[in-house]
Structures are given as C-alpha cells and as structure tokens.
C-alpha cells in the first residue's frame, strides 16, 4: 500500500515535470529566399523537459542532419542548429543557415521521449529572385524591331513574362525561352518582334515578370526610341588638282550618336594619317565648333608615346564680330573715324604751320628791337639813365 502511494507520487511528479506530449508541425511548407536563415518549426511539449530523456533527430530526404541524444548534440553540418534551451521547453525547431537550392526537399523532425515517439514532415522550398533587363533596340518607324526582356538567375523554374504597351497587353505573345544555369538557377528570355506605327515617337513599353520569389510582379518600363537619318553637307564643293585641301563632312539631325563617318577614295577608306615621301606622317583632325564663348580655351592637344609632355596649340578667341554684317559696319565706322582723325590732323598741321610762320616773322622783328634796347641800355650806363624794368616789357606772344 505504502509502496503503491509512493509509485503514484512519482508518476504525478513525472507527469508534471515531463509535461504533456503534444507533437506538432506548425508550418508543413516553408519557403525561403536563397542565402537567408530559416527556421523549420517542430514543437513537442508545452512545459519543462528532462533533456537526458529526449532524443531528437532531423533528417533531410532520409539523410540524418542533426541528432540530439541524451544531452549530446551531433550536427553533420555547420549550417544546421538546434537550441538546447529551446529543447528544454519542448521546442525542437531546426535553424537552417544560408540556405541554397540543394537544401530543398523533405525535412523530418523525429522526437522520442519514452514512451512517446512522433515524426513530422516539412516541405522546404528555396526561391531566387531574377535579375531583370529590358533591352529594346532602336526603332525605325513602321519597321519591326526587337523587344527583349531578360530574367536571369531565378529559381524555381516557373516564370511568366508579359509585354504591355501602356496598360494593354501586346497581341500574340510566346512563352519565354528557358535555360538552366550551372548554379541550379534558370534564365529566361522573352523576345517580342514589335512594329511601332501611328507616329507616336514616345511609346511606353513594359515587361511584367511574375515569379514565386515575390508576391507582386516586377514591371520594367521603357520608352521607345527612334533612329533618325542625318542630312549630309560636304566641303569643299569642288576639289582643285595639286592643292592641299581640307574636306569636311557634316551630319545633322541623326539619332542616336552612334554613327560612323569615313572619307573614301575609289572605294577605299582614306586615313586621317598619310605617309609622306620623307617617311614621316601628316595627320589631320578637324572639328566642327558649333558654339563657344569668350572664356573657353580651345586648343589642339597632341599626345605621343615616348614624350612626357603633350604638345598644345591654342586658338585665341576674338569676340564681338559674330556676323559679317557687323564686321562691315564696324569697318565703316573705323574708316570714318580714321578719315575724321586724318582731316583733323591735317587742319591742325596746317594751322600750326601758319602760326609758326607768323611767329617766325614776329620773332625776326623783335630780335631787331632787342638789339636796339641793348644799345639803349649801354647808352644809359654812359648817360646815367636807368635801364627799363624787365617786368615792364611786354612778354612775347
């Protein structure tokens, strides 16, 4: 009787300590992005557990991944982890670190706590989001061009790519071409032959990508760009024989700026550099300056291998006369001013000459008078008469 009571108390204690065995797999399907850490939940009790009485085994597609046995942790990889403090609380959840595509599959959580024994399955899936590129060729109006939407390095394989003009989907679209990559991911290309019409040189084209790696689709949008041909102007109009001439070719109005220009002679491309008879070269590089301002420094820079410093030659900039009409007007003004100056100078010279002649004449008279005065003063000395005060004498004009 005493023995029976003791046993009952022990059983009660064991029950309280061990808690109720309530095995559950809260999420039977788990999906996570590649390279993330993910928890595979597995719960077996809701209160305190005696660690030494518990055996936990996780398997990935029937291969043992980690075992917790009688307080000992035995992982087979550094990327898996069980938490002892959580096992004590009846939590056998597995942490998978830095998941990769090959981690996908069936995970089995097995918990043995005598007399209980339970197993649960979790399906684990990995996703990799694609990198998207929308490549659109340049279009010529009313001619077909290619629209290309590339989705690169995604997982799993299922993907949908749809083309839109504005908000309406384009007609007769085909499934994208799929390709598998060495790392287990996939790439898809959706090519669509599109003929723009109706003269709208600014259509909005988008490619919509739906994939498991994201809840909402990706939408890449671009505006169609159109090629344009340039008009060509050449100088010189006529070539003169046996004369060095600069020929230029000017292209105007093209789009885009990926045009190649070559001068040809009898179907053969002319070189910018030509070999001269003395074995050296002559090179011409010309440039069409459409505008510049006073502060610009425009120069030709010549760099040559084997020489440290480049050669430069600056073109000085003269501002003000920006059209020939102005130059002519300016010239007229200068000529008129010059004429006036010359006339003024001439009349001045004539005036001065006349005056000079007058002066000469006057001076001649006065020297005569001076001579007379001198004789007078000499005479004054003799006669006792004072000579005339020089301030009295009227200054020469």
Ligand X SMILES: *[C@@H]1O[C@H](CO)[C@@H](O)[C@H](O)[C@H]1NC(C)=O
* Residues that bind ligand X in the complex, under the rule CB under 6 A: 39, 43, 83, 86, 91, 93, 133, 135, 202, 223, 268-269, 271, 273
Q: Compute CA 316 distance to the chain's CA centroid, rounded to the nearest angstrom.
A: 34
Contact assessment for residue 220 and residue 161, using Cβ atoms and an 8 Å cutoff:
no
For tokens 């291998």, the residue is 305
Which residues, at least 6 apart from 16, have a Cβ–Cβ distance to it below 8 Å?
A: none
Q: Contacts for 167-174 with beta carbons within 8 Å, 24 or more apart?
A: 170/194
Nearer to ligand X, 64 or 152 (CB): 152
CB of 242: closest distance to ligand X in angstroms?
21
Integer-rounded Cα radius of gyration of the chain = 52
CB of 291: closest distance to ligand X in angstroms?
23
CB of 190: closest distance to ligand X in angstroms?
12
CB of 70: closest distance to ligand X in angstroms?
21
Query: How far is Cα 163 from Cα 193, in angstroms, rounded to an integer?
Result: 11
CB of 30: closest distance to ligand X in angstroms?
13
For tokens 């790696």, the residue is 213
Mode of pairing for the β-strands spanning 204-211 and 186-194: unpaired
CB of 332: closest distance to ligand X in angstroms?
47
Nearer to ligand X, 93 or 190 (CB): 93
For tokens 């065995």, the residue is 21
Nearer to ligand X, 268 or 365 (CB): 268
CB of 336: closest distance to ligand X in angstroms?
52
CB of 83: closest distance to ligand X in angstroms?
5
Nearer to ligand X, 156 or 190 (CB): 190
Q: Which two tokens stand for residue 194?
A: 């599109």
Contact assessment for residue 81 and residue 63, using Cβ atoms and an 8 Å cutoff:
no
Q: Which two tokens stand for residue 261?
A: 């220009």
CB of 8: closest distance to ligand X in angstroms?
32
Q: b/e per residue, 15-42, with b = 16+ CB within 10 A?
A: eeebbebebebeeeebebebeeebebbb
Beta-carbon count within 10 A of 129 CB: 17
**Rama region for 88: left / alpha / beta (φ>0; ψ in -120 to 50; rest):** alpha
Nearer to ligand X, 135 or 329 (CB): 135
CB of 92: closest distance to ligand X in angstroms?
8
Closest C-alpha to 188, from 137, 222, 154: 154
Query: How far is Cα 69 from Cα 135, in angstroms, rounded to an integer?
Result: 57
Query: How far is Cα 268 from Cα 86, in angstroms, rounded to an integer?
Result: 82
Nearer to ligand X, 204 or 312 (CB): 204
Nearer to ligand X, 43 or 156 (CB): 43
Q: Is-cis flag, bond preceding 256, omega within 30?
A: yes
Nearer to ligand X, 280 or 386 (CB): 280
Nearer to ligand X, 101 or 201 (CB): 201
Nearer to ligand X, 74 or 221 (CB): 221
**Span between the terminal Cα atoms of the chain, in Å:** 166
Contact assessment for residue 275 and residue 281, using Cβ atoms and an 8 Å cutoff:
yes
CB of 269: closest distance to ligand X in angstroms?
5
Nearer to ligand X, 91 or 116 (CB): 91
């Amino acid at each position: 009787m005493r023995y029976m009571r003791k046993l009952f108390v022990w059983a009660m204690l064991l029950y309280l300590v061990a808690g109720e065995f309530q095995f559950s797999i809260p999420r039977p399907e788990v999906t996570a992005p590649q390279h993330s850490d993910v928890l595979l939940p597995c719960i077996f009790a809701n209160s305190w557990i005696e660690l030494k009485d518990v055996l936990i085994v996780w398997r990935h597609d029937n291969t043992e991944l980690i075992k917790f046995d009688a307080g000992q942790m035995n992982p087979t990889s550094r990327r898996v982890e069980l938490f002892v403090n959580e096992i004590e609380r009846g939590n056998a959840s597995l942490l998978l670190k830095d998941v990769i595509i090959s981690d996908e599959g069936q995970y089995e959580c097995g918990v043995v706590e005598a007399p209980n024994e339970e197993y649960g399955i979790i399906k684990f899936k990995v996703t990799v989001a694609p990198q998207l590129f929308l490549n659109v060729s340049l279009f010529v109006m009313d001619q077909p061009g290619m629209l290309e939407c590339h989705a690169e390095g995604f997982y799993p394989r299922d993907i949908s790519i749809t083309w839109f003009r504005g908000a309406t989907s384009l007609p007769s679209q085909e499934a994208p071409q799929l390709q598998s990559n060495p790392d287990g991911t996939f790439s898809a290309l959706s090519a669509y032959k599109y003929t723009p019409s109706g003269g709208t040189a600014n259509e909005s084209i988008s490619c919509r990508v739906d994939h498991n790696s994201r809840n909402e689709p990706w939408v890449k949008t671009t505006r169609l760009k159109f090629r344009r041909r340039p008009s060509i102007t050449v100088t010189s109009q006529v070539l003169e024989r046996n004369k060095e001439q600069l020929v230029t070719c000017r292209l105007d109005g093209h789009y885009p700026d990926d045009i190649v220009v070559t001068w040809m002679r009898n179907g053969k491309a002319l070189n910018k550099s030509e070999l001269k008879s003395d074995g050296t070269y002559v090179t011409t590089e010309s440039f069409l300056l459409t505008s510049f301002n006073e502060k610009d420094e425009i120069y030709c820079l010549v760099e040559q291998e084997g020489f440290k410093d480049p050669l430069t030659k600056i073109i000085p900039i003269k501002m003000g006369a920006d059209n020939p009409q102005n130059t002519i007007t300016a010239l007229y003004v200068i000529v008129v001013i010059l004429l006036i100056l010359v006339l003024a100078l001439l009349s001045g010279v004539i005036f001065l000459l006349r005056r000079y002649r007058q002066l000469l004449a006057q001076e001649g008279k006065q020297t005569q008078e001076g001579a007379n005065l001198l004789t007078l003063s000499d005479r004054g000395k003799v006669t006792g008469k004072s000579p005339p005060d020089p301030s009295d004498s009227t200054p020469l004009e």
